[in-house]
Amino acid sequence: MPADLPVRCSCGALRGVARGVSGDCGNHIVCYCDDCQSFAHFLERAEETLDAHGGTEIFQTSPARLEITAGADRLACMRLTHKGLLRWYAACCRTPIGNTLASRQVPFVGLVLGCVDHASRDEVLGPIRARLYTRFAMGDPGQAGASERVPLALILRLLWLGLVARLRGDHRRSPFFDRTTGAPIATPRVLSASEFAALRAKGGLV
């Protein structure tokens, strides 16, 4: 059954709701990629964000399902490289919120589930569909659905969900982009090559 799940940063200044979510409207995954690990280290929240093997638990869905009810001015974003994803976080306490593409035209957010605090979260979102990029994991995750890359079935499912969301006009209802101009609501900070390399080294990813 779809349900509304509360979203909040660690200090509570930024709050919101993921509305009408269920396992049918997204992909519940764990990503072990080096970029997700680097983002956690950038925020200095690796211990809270990453699991024992370096994985980040994410729910991929339409950004139109996410409503920011307080503290939208706290949203900040960064890019690991000039071509990387926009990685959104709460500037007040550096809580990771989610990842989007650089343009709102593709209605997609990878909501970092550390900001979703609800007892029935896993029941609502369903089982983890896949554990991705395990070649970057620390040790062997040893879990069902582990894959060194993104399985084709998951890509096709994400494309279908994105197409349906686009036809609904969800790209015009993203809390991360200005509704009039389509620009990100916060100017992305792009890491320099030396900053990026330092993060990789910090996370043992070199």
Q: How far apart are CA 177 and CA 105, in angstroms?
A: 10
Closest residue by Cα to residue 142 from 6, 41, 30, 46: 30
Span 62-104, pLDDT tens digits = 999 999 999 999 999 999 999 999 999 999 999 999 999 999 9
The predicted model gives 10-17 an average pLDDT of 97
* 168: amino acid identity, one letter: R
Q: How far apart are CA 102 and CA 77, in angstroms?
A: 11
3-202 is classed in which CATH architecture? Beta Complex (2.170)
- % of the chain beyond a pLDDT of 70: 98
pLDDT of residue 40: 97
The domain spans of the chain are: 3-202
The predicted model gives 20-27 an average pLDDT of 95
- Mention every residue, 6+ apart, whose C-beta is less than 8 A from residue 63: 98, 100, 104, 107, 108, 109, 170, 173, 174, 175, 176
Order of strands across the sheet that contains 66-70: 3-8, 15-21, 66-70
Q: Read off the pLDDT band of 144 (50, 70, 90).
A: low
pTM for the predicted model, two decimal places: 0.94
Span 146-186, pLDDT tens digits = 778 888 989 999 999 999 999 999 999 999 999 999 999 99
Q: How far apart are CA 176 and CA 203, in angstroms?
A: 28
Q: Read off the pLDDT band of 145 (50, 70, 90).
A: low
**Residue 141: is its pLDDT beyond 80?**
no
Q: How far apart are CA 186 and CA 40, in angstroms?
A: 19
